[in-house]
A and B are shown apart, each in its own frame.
Chain A
Amino acid sequence: MCVRFEASDVTEMNDWIAIGALALVGVLIPFGMMAVSYLLRPTVPETSKRATYESGEIPTGGTRIRFNIQYYMVALLFVVFDIETVLLFPWAVAYQDALAADEISLVSALGPMLLFVAILLVGLAWAWRTGAVQWAQTSRQLETDRS
């Protein structure tokens, strides 16, 4: 492995090997606990012990219920904004160094970012107006919606 990489690459690799090692530890610890628990715990099957918990009542209906569409709206908004943050990270890293090195002017360093954020904030304003991020409505808002 060491042969194929330059010296600087090896340090980079070590970082990710270390992270991989922690991932391994992070999986081994839960499995270790599950093994210990498997040895310790009793198994006492009883009638309706495994029934779905509904505060002691006999469970009614299925659990694959319909839920509020607004969860979907929020998830959609998140995808848009999360991609935006990923695209902004390189800009944030380069910003100060580029300005300090006098490579570009403040306007041309800041302008594209402001434009990019502005486009997305228009999206947020739309979501705000259509009520995607307002889940409960006051009685007055309900009346204006009906009329």
Chain B
Amino acid sequence: MPGQIAGATAGTAAFPAVPLQETVLLPERIGELTGLDGFGLGGELLATFLAAFLIGNLMLAMTGVAGPWAKRKITAAFTDRIAVNRLGPAGLFIIIADAVRLLSKELVVPENADRPAYDLAPIVVASSALLGFAVIPMGNGIHLADPEVGLAYVFAVSGIASLGLVMAGYASANKYSLLGGLRAVAQNVAYEIPLVVTGMSVVIFAGTLQMGEIVSAQAEPFVTIAGISIPSWYALVNPFAFVLFLVANFAEVGRNPFDTPEAPTEIVAGYQTEYSSVYFVLIYLGEFLHIFLGGAIIATIFLGGPAGPVLPGIVWFIIKIWAVFFATQWLRSAVPRVRIDQLIEIGWKGLLVLAFANLILTAVIVGLIA
């Protein structure tokens, strides 16, 4: 990848303190560490699989902490309660207890369900979210793949989830599920456009879709105040785009104030009404993975990826995506839900127009400077 190396060297020349963007990806690194790269193609494939397995389980572990424990603790703190505190330190062992509890529930399949679609939907929702993490640079060389179309790829695979949701909604043969599935797809398509168009305004700055290069482009100094050089994170260069992207992302992952697809006070639980046992776990897992994927995209294209002072890259990356997760939980406790018609109007009349205004303004300003 010649472009990536060029970007890294440009960063070094201007600003040596910035940590270098690692050019060695995780599969190769694991191949070197385990000696698997000496076994030809088979060894390389095994190393690649191990790397993918590591990434998958890292995100699974984060979801495990977030779902049964952190979500409850955060909501409890907002509503002045204590929440889980019986099992283990600060109630942390509830994660294990909940995993066993949920997996050992009886699987009740509604009698009119469309079987193949009903069974496939949870798998589609869970694995589509996981796929996006392939191109996210997580720091310390934890970066599975860096294709040239990275950003477009992330938007594409996270869009597959809409398919899973509409499958779940339709195949359950339940009116609440159908309404929830329809709402989910209407919402996802409405906010996908502002999300992608705002992401495009970042591409204008970076001049590339490759995640590694977008991160290294943000390492260059933006302004220097009192000898401290502030990196050109795109959240600082273009805060307007950052706010737009954040709002569109909350809608895309279906969190408050845009959680109309599962609105518990209106349509029970939307598309997941008829799902129990392991299927419920998978849909829930998929939703949390999507929140984290949204956080990972925000961290990568707006917050400098894994960059940050003192602490290692992976720690900064985790802090950044957990900050986005915390924001979703904050909104969950603090902001009322919008109605479905308001949601559509906000999306098409508000965010879409603002996103295009942002794109055109960015293009004009970048054009005048360049």
Which A residues have a C-beta under 8 Å from some C-beta of B?
1-2, 11-12, 14-19, 21-27, 29-31, 33-34, 36-38, 40-44, 49-55, 63, 65, 67, 70-71, 74-75, 77-78, 81-82, 85-86, 88-89, 92-97, 99-100, 106, 109-110, 113-114, 117, 121, 124, 127-128, 133-136
- The stretch from B238-246, B251-259, B320-328, B342-350 touching chain A is B342-350
CB distance from B18 to the nearest CB of A (A): 21
Set of chain B residues within 8 Å of A78, measured between Cβ atoms: 189-190, 192-193
Question: What's the Cα separation between A80 and B275 when bound, in Å?
Answer: 33
Q: Are A22 and B133 in contact (CB under 8 A)?
A: yes
Q: Are B178 and A51 in contact (CB under 8 A)?
A: no
Once A34-B278, A100-B370 are accepted as A-B contacts, the answer to whether A134 and B25 lie under 8 Å apart by CB is no
Interface assignment of B173: CB less than 8 Å from any CB of chain A: yes
Question: What's the Cα separation between A21 and B353 when bound, in Å?
Answer: 39
With both beta carbons as reference points, the residue of chain A lying nearest to B188 in the complex is identified as A78
8 A Cβ contacts from B29-80 to A: 41, 44-45, 48-49, 51-53, 55-56, 60
Q: Are A96 and B146 in contact (CB under 8 A)?
A: no
Which B residues have a C-beta under 8 Å from some C-beta of A?
1, 25-28, 41, 44-45, 48-49, 51-53, 55-56, 60, 100, 103-112, 122-123, 126-128, 130-131, 133-135, 144-148, 152-153, 173-179, 182, 185-186, 189-190, 192-193, 196-197, 200-201, 203-205, 207-209, 268, 273-274, 277-278, 281-282, 339-342, 344-345, 347-349, 352-353, 356, 359-360, 363-364, 366-368, 370
CB distance from A46 to the nearest CB of B (A): 10
Set of chain B residues within 8 Å of A85, measured between Cβ atoms: 193, 196-197, 200
Once A17-B48, A22-B134, A128-B349 are accepted as A-B contacts, the answer to whether A92 and B203 lie under 8 Å apart by CB is yes
CB distance from B175 to the nearest CB of A (A): 5
With both beta carbons as reference points, the residue of chain A lying nearest to B346 in the complex is identified as A133
With both beta carbons as reference points, the residue of chain A lying nearest to B204 in the complex is identified as A92
Q: Of A22, A29, A75, A88, which contacts B60 at CB under 8 A?
A: A29
Question: What's the Cα separation between A95 and B360 when bound, in Å?
Answer: 12
Q: Name the prevailing secondary structure of the B interface residues.
A: helix
CB distance from B357 to the nearest CB of A (A): 10
Question: What's the Cα separation between A81 and B175 when bound, in Å?
Answer: 30
Question: What's the Cα separation between A112 and B103 when bound, in Å?
Answer: 55
CB distance from A118 to the nearest CB of B (A): 10
Q: Of B48, B174, B274, B345, which contacts A18 at CB under 8 A?
A: B48
Once A21-B51, A37-B104, A53-B176 are accepted as A-B contacts, the answer to whether A74 and B127 lie under 8 Å apart by CB is no
Q: Are B345 and A135 in contact (CB under 8 A)?
A: yes
Q: Are A37 and B41 in contact (CB under 8 A)?
A: no
Q: Are B110 and A37 in contact (CB under 8 A)?
A: no
Question: What's the Cα separation between A1 and B44 when bound, in Å?
Answer: 12
CB distance from B196 to the nearest CB of A (A): 4
Set of chain A residues within 8 Å of B60, measured between Cβ atoms: 29
Set of chain A residues within 8 Å of B193, measured between Cβ atoms: 78, 81-82, 85
Q: Are B178 and A67 in contact (CB under 8 A)?
A: yes
Question: What's the Cα separation between A39 and B291 when bound, in Å?
Answer: 30
Q: Are A124 and B352 in contact (CB under 8 A)?
A: yes
8 cross-chain pairs, A with B, having the tightest CB-CB distances, nearest first: A26-B127, A135-B341, A37-B278, A78-B189, A21-B52, A133-B348, A26-B130, A15-B145
Q: Are B56 and A95 in contact (CB under 8 A)?
A: no
Q: Are B175 and A65 in contact (CB under 8 A)?
A: yes
Question: What's the Cα separation between A95 and B367 when bound, in Å?
Answer: 8
Question: What's the Cα separation between A25 and B193 when bound, in Å?
Answer: 29
Complex A-B: 19 CB contacts under 8 Å: A14-B27, A21-B51, A22-B133, A22-B145, A25-B56, A26-B126, A26-B130, A30-B122, A36-B103, A41-B106, A49-B108, A52-B274, A63-B173, A82-B192, A85-B193, A92-B203, A128-B349, A133-B349, A135-B345
Q: Are B104 and A41 in contact (CB under 8 A)?
A: yes
Q: Of B48, B106, B281, which contacts A43 at CB under 8 A?
A: B106
Q: Are B345 and A133 in contact (CB under 8 A)?
A: yes
Q: Are A40 and B104 in contact (CB under 8 A)?
A: yes
CB distance from A71 to the nearest CB of B (A): 5
Q: Are B277 and A37 in contact (CB under 8 A)?
A: yes
Set of chain B residues within 8 Å of A16, measured between Cβ atoms: 145, 147
With both beta carbons as reference points, the residue of chain A lying nearest to B368 in the complex is identified as A106
Q: Are A77 and B145 in contact (CB under 8 A)?
A: no
Q: Are B111 and A52 in contact (CB under 8 A)?
A: yes
Set of chain A residues within 8 Å of B53, measured between Cβ atoms: 25
Set of chain B residues within 8 Å of A94, measured between Cβ atoms: 207
Question: What's the Cα separation between A88 and B205 when bound, in Å?
Answer: 14
Q: Are A18 and B370 in contact (CB under 8 A)?
A: no
Q: Are A41 and B105 in contact (CB under 8 A)?
A: yes
